[in-house]
A = this chain, B = another copy of it.
């Protein structure tokens, strides 16, 4: 397996433009990561003010997606890059679409703060927080793999997302059982369910981004392919 240094691709006359786009995409990734971290903190500390900040600040991320899209279109029109560079730009366009949606999912997590939970329900929030931090770590690894266009790191994310899916399923079963025992708590539990689901989907979106990285570096073989079937 080979690691691809992005430097190899930053060559020729559109060097600066491409570097700018990658920097903006990384800046967007940083904001999305902050959204997720803040949403988990808001729920953990029951901090409605922080939740409101998360809920009201996605316009920055949306604007970045649009302006990076524009930059990508402009660089293609202006520089007419070769196929390899073009594939990198397509990978960036797809990545930022997933990043934007991760920001949306973070907002769903922040909404848990609008519900009240009894002392005996706190362990469910702790489970949510624990899975949340696994997903946050996965997002960080994904952004890191993206920055370095690192196929090995991207494949590792693929594997870890399977663990997160397992954990998600067992927490979901636990919540289902809890609701069956305490039907009065179903409305609060539904908010936890949506937050868990949001975490699971963030994991899937990290996997998407890693597939774009692998696709860009390796060609089309691995997208929509089971991890076990990928032979590098």
A87 (CB) vs chain B CBs: closest residue: B73
Contacts of A187 in B (CB 8 A): 176
Segment at the B interface, from A9-17, A78-86, A159-167: A78-86
Q: Is the CB of B77 within 8 A of A83?
A: yes
Contacts of A93 in B (CB 8 A): 90, 93-94
- Give the oligomeric copy count: 2
Considering the complex, which residues of chain A in the window 157-214 have a beta carbon less than 8 Å from any beta carbon of chain B? 176, 179-181, 183-184, 186-187, 190, 197
A225 (CB) vs chain B CBs: closest residue: B62
Considering the complex, which residues of chain A in the window 61-114 have a beta carbon less than 8 Å from any beta carbon of chain B? 62-63, 65-66, 69-70, 72-74, 76-77, 80-83, 86-87, 90, 93-94, 97
Q: Is the CB of B62 within 8 A of A73?
A: no
Query: Most B CB atoms within 10 A — which of A66, A82, A184?
Result: A66
Please give the residue numbers on chain A whose beta carbons come within 8 Å of chain B beta carbons, in ascending order. 59, 62-63, 65-66, 69-70, 72-74, 76-77, 80-83, 86-87, 90, 93-94, 97, 176, 179-181, 183-184, 186-187, 190, 197, 220, 223-224
